[in-house]
Structure 1
Amino acid sequence: MKHILLLFLFLGSSLSAQDNINFELISNFPLPETGNDIWGYVDAEGTEYAILGSVEATYIISLEDPANPRQVAVVPGTTSTWRDMKTFQEHCYVTTDAGADGLLIIDMREIRTDSVAFKFWRPELIVNTDTATLARCHNIYIDEFGFAYLAGCSINADRNDRGALILDLNQDPWNPVYVGAETRAYAHDLYVRDNIMYASEIYNGEMGVYDVSDKANPVFLGSAPTSFDFTHNIWISDDGKYAFTTDERGNAFVDAFDITDFTDMKKLDSYRPLETEGRGVIPHNTHYYDGYLVTSWYTDGVVVIDGSRPNNMVKVGAYDTYEGPDGGFSGCWGAYPFLPSGLVIASDRQTGLYVLRPTYDRACYLEGTVSDATDGMAINGALVEIESEQLAFDNSDATGEFKTGLATSGTYNVKVSHPDYKTFNGTVELNNGEVTELNVQLERPLEISVEIMVLDEFTGDPVPQAQVKFYNADRNILTQSDSDGIVTLNLFDESYIIVAGSWGYRYATAEINPLDNTSMTVELPQGYQDDFALDYGWTVEGDAETGSWVRDIPIGTPASGDPDNNANPGNDVEGDVGEQCYITGNAGGGSGDDDVDNGTVILKSPPIDIEPLTLGAASIDLLYSVWFYNGGGNNMPNDTLTVKLVTTTSETIIDEYTSNTDGWVDVSISVDDLNLDSPVFQLVFETADRQGSGHILEAGVDAFQLVFTTSVQDASISEFVKIYPNPFEDVLTIETESSEIAQLNIFDMMGRRVFTVNTSANIERISTQLESGIYLLQIQTIDNQEVSKLIIKE
């Protein structure tokens, strides 16, 4: 059923995220060690069981009372990160991708007596020209005809030939019979139905399809690449028309394919959880159940996608089993949705078995087009957002089409925005299982010419090539002042925040709406500040293979062996301007995916000249925030983050880190105490990963500034100089007995010069427009310099 609407403008509300949707936690059963995959089993009496792998064993857990799971058997095996299992009739088959367990076979017929028989089946097999004992396999699938397909086994000498070993379980489930192999490419996982085998050929980054009607002679039918080039798992829709895949990489998707023609398989859609988009979360395994994709998504837990419209996949359920940071290989490994009770059982690597009761509701779909209100042409790249607790948005494509949706029916505001158009908002009624069609026409806004003058706050001179950023919720415009300190550009008739800055100055911020004001002066205080909201051209050097310094919004990665903390930060320093900082690598994923590896990375500031700013300053403090993490590896972490001030002739180490900072750390260092040989220097951050150490090494820098402060306690005046009245309100008199006054300067308590006058007299009267407060008066005579505390009254 479709509802067709044409929307026009009004105001909307904000977005927020929702963690758990349409799931009820029934119970959680922890394991004594790290877990891995999971499968389900039902005995002859109808009792349901969870079969759960760990790094040390295979656990069989009774769900006779789902609220109180009970362990009934444990089968120990080789220590391995990977265990996968499937069942056939009254037997369970477990693969282990380490050691030499071969294929673990468990006889489940006596399971109700808390007893199982098991053996490790290690036959000698001949595959092509290779003969070897079956030692390990990565995965297993058992089809509806009683054939087992082992993936990624150790028989073939060349790993790339390890596709599928095919076993007949019908003759004797306790003693499988080897009947054939497919060895075109390494398979990480397999799915087989109607004698068609779908292979997750992970190192080829594609889904391979084979006809296995003749088990001794599989026939290749076709392949299709998946979106992140690391095909990990495949499941097929009940009607056999669609395939759904995962790529085991940070920020990857569940992909949907039309597979009605194996020679021309077409990708229809890709989905990843919007709430954690860009944070390196990794999909692991997806299973198709009655049109839903029940997916284990590592740190996101269990995610249920409505796949009944494979060209518009929408999240309709979620349960987060993992409380640590986003990204990496912690959290939910597997989720099994096929128990007759309808329960979903999931395995979390850190916290064990989860028994969950899902509520399966079809998605509420919103689909339509975005076009230009004047000429009717399609608009590419318009952002369509449903404003709800669950994030739901899409960008229109080249034809103007968009598709999105959410889990819960209701009346919602919809926002449609594009940088070149006015933002439109409207109301839609969304219902579960229905498609609401929305066609939006966007109008081009009024453009108004705006002129911004960027000046030095103290001298009043123009600041050329200053960076000026204009932004609001929909737009982010970065420009630069010309040689006269002027920025001229066209802005839409809406409000903007301005951030302006230049190296050698502190930031200045302002607000502007071109309807109210078409010209503005922005004054930059002298000094140094860089929160990395603007790009001042810090330089990056080094020879490390990965993990070079980048200026970006940080993507957190979990710390090695400590999932509750991050190796790479997940945010910049709170309270500074903007969201960017400098970090060593920022690709997301696991902690070792883009950390500093096998080399050095160096970050250098532009040259800093403190001499023009020190007049009247009692002290100069260098402030910055730093992040450092060093863990994991082949030995004790021994890497270092070093901070240096470098002049043309010297190098001074001012700070050093050899242990984790456990977050952002604020640093303040007195420059005066360093006795530098030059007022011009660079700030340098250097860290290195020792060759072959395997350590996880991450560093970050943010919130740099130089602070110039005065000290009224140190202010002194000689008996030859008179200042009166002090405090003063309107006019201040300065009188000397001997030398003429050459220059008077007034500094505020941040060390900024706020008033100056040149003269050549023994007596000077001055009047300022300064606000009331405490200041520092510097009197420069021909012979010497005098400094005094100065108070201006209200």
Structure 2
Amino acid sequence: MKKILLLIVISFAIISCGSDDSPSDTTDDVTDDGTGMNDDMDPAEIPRTAPCENGFAGPFQCNDYDLVYRFDLVTFGATAGNDSWGWTDSSTGKEYALMCVNNGVAFVDITADPPIYLGKLPTATFSSAWRDVKVYNNFAFIVSEASGHGMQVFDLTRLRNVSNPPSNFSADATYTGFGNAHNIVINESSAYAYAVGTQTFNGGPHFIDIQDPLNPVAAGGFAMDAYSHDAQVVTYNGPDTEHAGKEILIGSNEDQISIVDITDKANPIGLSTISYGQVGYTHQGWFTEDQTIFILGDEIDEQNFGFNTRTLMFDFSDLDNPSLIGEYSGPTPAIDHNGYVKGNSYFMANYTAGLRVLDATNAASGTLNEIGYFDTFPANNNAGFDGAWNVYPYFESGKILISDINTGLYIVKKR
């Protein structure tokens, strides 16, 4: 599927509605007002916090995950949510949510009880349905599909002393080596950022040296495998000893996965590509912690082919010869979006089905099993572009962020 068609589909879908979180229920049998809540539900009665009891946390269906707190989009002065990430202050141990919205990035102190909305960094140019953020060395790096946006750099230590929240922040630096970008990836061990989906390098990854975060430096790019929608970059320490210690990029490139050695930024080396049957849109994936299995989500296959959430597993033990080893079929037809591995668990943003947590202990044998969930979009589980855009599971406290397109930020935690 071409990117422009995807943008049109998602742009239309973001203003639509959709989700009922009964795993076996695939019908749109509950009406809603476009937020994913029942249309007869008084917003004032929706709890900010609720334990998961008898399968529900307030109106939200759940399994083993409590609602710690939630913020609606109105609080952030926004009309749509998208990406999210987290930052832990190494000096104080405090944890912060970075919630991307259509017109900027909201910052929330989630260690405080209750959590505190500290303020927002406005978009560099225009509002957009697409904004992405990652963190390196106490700095946030933000890109957007908004025309002319570039990459904003924000010093997160400024969040330590916000005297009168919420504040209206400004960027500490802006990188202008590209205008719009779909996504940003950071390899913290190498201190390089990779913007993907820009108008440079044929849409392939655009390399940026961020060793000095306030002075980002262009460092080349890789155009060989065309447009890259998302990527993961690692300093490789997996089973393929031929590539030990190399910096490896795994690109999710619309209709295939691309594996590239980018150790020498001036001379990237394509190692291999792999595709699979019934490709809808090769969207995003993540390594298991031993860097053996790559778990991939295809964003459009549920719509195109009519099956339930499909998650694919690839054996990457030989980076020059990857192979598909299994597929997981979820309990609903909801579309899978972003997913990440922590320990033996795979945390998936499953759009209308919310956060889904899968046991990846046996991923090497092509097997995943659902072990928990929290549905931020109660109205239905349809294959539409509403609900959970991203999840962030890496806080030491065990708190997990869910950024919801329609309703805002959710902080949940395993019971």
**What is the TM-score of this pair, normalised by structure 1?**
0.40
Structure 2, unpaired ranges of 5+: 1-22, 26-54, 56-60, 236-246, 303-307
* Cross-structure match for 1:64: 111
Secondary structure, counterpart of 1:109 in structure 2: helix
Instruction: Output the CA distance in 2 between the equivalents of 1:90 and 1:235.
Output: 23
> Quick one: higher RCO (CA 8 Å, sep 6+), 1 or 2?
2
Residues 16 and 210 (structure 1), Cα distance of their counterparts in 2 relative to 1, 3 Å cut? closer
For 1:237, which of 246, 267, 288 is the aligned residue?
A: 288
Secondary structure, counterpart of 1:99 in structure 2: coil
Residues 83, 96 of structure 1: 8 Å contact kept:
yes
Secondary structure, counterpart of 1:110 in structure 2: helix
Residues 219 and 49 (structure 1), Cα distance of their counterparts in 2 relative to 1, 3 Å cut? same
Residues 204, 221 of structure 2: 8 Å contact kept:
yes
The one-character-per-residue Cα deviations of 1:540-568 (angstroms, maximum 9, x if unpaired) are: xxxxxxxxxxxxxxxxxxxxxxxxxxxxx
- Whichever residue aligns with residue 119 of structure 2, its letter is A
For 2:67, which of 25, 30, 34 is the aligned residue?
A: 25
| Residue 352 in structure 1 maps to residue 408 in structure 2 | yes
Secondary structure, counterpart of 1:112 in structure 2: helix
Instruction: Output the CA distance in 2 between the equivalents of 1:165 and 1:273.
Output: 34
The one-character-per-residue Cα deviations of 1:694-716 (angstroms, maximum 9, x if unpaired) are: xxxxxxxxxxxxxxxxxxxxxxx
| Residue 269 in structure 1 maps to residue 326 in structure 2 | yes
For 1:111, which of 141, 147, 159 is the aligned residue?
A: 159
Deviation of 1:155 (Å): 2.6
Secondary structure, counterpart of 1:58 in structure 2: strand
- Whichever residue aligns with residue 297 of structure 1, its letter is N
- Whichever residue aligns with residue 86 of structure 2, its letter is G
The one-character-per-residue Cα deviations of 1:616-641 (angstroms, maximum 9, x if unpaired) are: xxxxxxxxxxxxxxxxxxxxxxxxxx
* Cross-structure match for 1:336: 392
- Whichever residue aligns with residue 248 of structure 2, its letter is I
More strand by percentage: 1
User: Which has the higher mean CA deviation after the structures are superposed, 261-270 or 22-31?
Assistant: 261-270
Secondary structure, counterpart of 1:118 in structure 2: coil
Residues 298, 310 of structure 2: 8 Å contact kept:
yes
* Cross-structure match for 2:186: 142
* Two-structure CA RMSD over aligned residues (Å): 1.8
Instruction: Output the CA distance in 1 between the equivalents of 2:157 and 2:216.
Output: 17
Residues 342, 357 of structure 1: 8 Å contact kept:
yes
- Whichever residue aligns with residue 321 of structure 1, its letter is T
The one-character-per-residue Cα deviations of 1:312-343 (angstroms, maximum 9, x if unpaired) are: 11111111110123220000000000011111
For 2:275, which of 200, 210, 225 is the aligned residue?
A: 225
| Residue 92 in structure 1 maps to residue 140 in structure 2 | yes
Instruction: Output the CA distance in 2 between the equivalents of 1:293 and 1:242.
Output: 12
Instruction: Output the CA distance in 2 between the equivalents of 1:16 and 1:330.
Output: 19
Q: How many residue pairs are counted as aligned between the two chains?
A: 324
The one-character-per-residue Cα deviations of 1:673-732 (angstroms, maximum 9, x if unpaired) are: xxxxxxxxxxxxxxxxxxxxxxxxxxxxxxxxxxxxxxxxxxxxxxxxxxxxxxxxxxxx
* Cross-structure match for 2:357: 304
Deviation of 1:245 (Å): 0.7
* Cross-structure match for 2:251: 199
> Which structure would you say has the larger Rg?
1
| Residue 321 in structure 1 maps to residue 376 in structure 2 | yes
Residues 222 and 16 (structure 1), Cα distance of their counterparts in 2 relative to 1, 3 Å cut? closer
Structure 1, unpaired ranges of 5+: 1-14, 125-133, 360-794
The one-character-per-residue Cα deviations of 1:154-204 (angstroms, maximum 9, x if unpaired) are: 235xxxx2110111111x1011111120111110011011101000101xx
Deviation of 1:16 (Å): 6.6
Instruction: Output the CA distance in 2 between the equivalents of 1:98 and 1:50.
Output: 22
The one-character-per-residue Cα deviations of 1:469-524 (angstroms, maximum 9, x if unpaired) are: xxxxxxxxxxxxxxxxxxxxxxxxxxxxxxxxxxxxxxxxxxxxxxxxxxxxxxxx
The one-character-per-residue Cα deviations of 1:360-403 (angstroms, maximum 9, x if unpaired) are: xxxxxxxxxxxxxxxxxxxxxxxxxxxxxxxxxxxxxxxxxxxx
More helix by percentage: 2
- Whichever residue aligns with residue 108 of structure 2, its letter is I
Instruction: Output the CA distance in 2 between the equivalents of 1:183 and 1:189.
Output: 14
* Cross-structure match for 1:175: 215
Residues 343, 357 of structure 1: 8 Å contact kept:
yes
Identity %: 28
Residues 196, 211 of structure 1: 8 Å contact kept:
yes
Deviation of 1:123 (Å): 2.9
Instruction: Output the CA distance in 2 between the equivalents of 1:155 and 1:120.
Output: 21
- Whichever residue aligns with residue 353 of structure 1, its letter is L
Instruction: Output the CA distance in 1 between the equivalents of 2:273 and 2:152.
Output: 31
